[in-house]
């Protein structure tokens, strides 16, 4: 079970300001095998694409690049917090370490 899931709000805690250090964003996807996350509007890169059937004009496209999962932190009630696990009513749930609240 991953600590960060798709749809979570996270804050980038390391890296350069250009890549989004200190910014918050919503997780688009998680690659658990490689330990990477895609965060909306963070770590934008320019990709050159040739004209194709899907993209008639081609040109330069801006898209998000993956960030290492260790470089983001879950945001709970506006503040970044670590995530722990607890068994509640026979079900394993995520909890915010700072407040002890159940996340999901």
Say whether pLDDT at 15 is over 90.
Answer: no
| φ and ψ at residue 9, rounded to 5 degrees | -95, 125
pLDDT tens-digit map of 25-48 = 999 999 999 999 999 999 999 999
| Whole-angstrom distance, CA of residue 60 vs CA of residue 4 | 31
pLDDT tens-digit map of 38-88 = 999 999 999 999 998 988 888 999 999 999 999 999 999 999 999 999 999
pLDDT band, residue 104 (cuts 50/70/90): confident
The string of DSSP codes covering 64-90 is E--EEGGGEEEEETTEEE-EEEEEETT
Answering whether pTM is above 0.85, one says: no
Could you identify the residue written with the tokens 């989004």? 20
């Amino acid at each position: 079970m991953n600590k960060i899931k798709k749809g979570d709000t996270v804050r980038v805690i390391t890296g350069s300001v250009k890549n989004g250090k200190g910014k918050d964003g919503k997780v688009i996807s998680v690659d658990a095998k490689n330990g990477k996350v895609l965060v909306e509007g963070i770590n934008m890169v320019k990709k050159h694409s040739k004209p194709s059937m899907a993209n008639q004009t081609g040109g330069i496209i801006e898209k998000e690049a993956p960030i290492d999962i260790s470089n983001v932190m879950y945001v709970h009630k506006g503040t970044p917090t670590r995530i722990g696990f607890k068994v509640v009513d026979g079900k394993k749930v995520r909890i915010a370490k700072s407040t002890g609240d159940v996340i999901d």
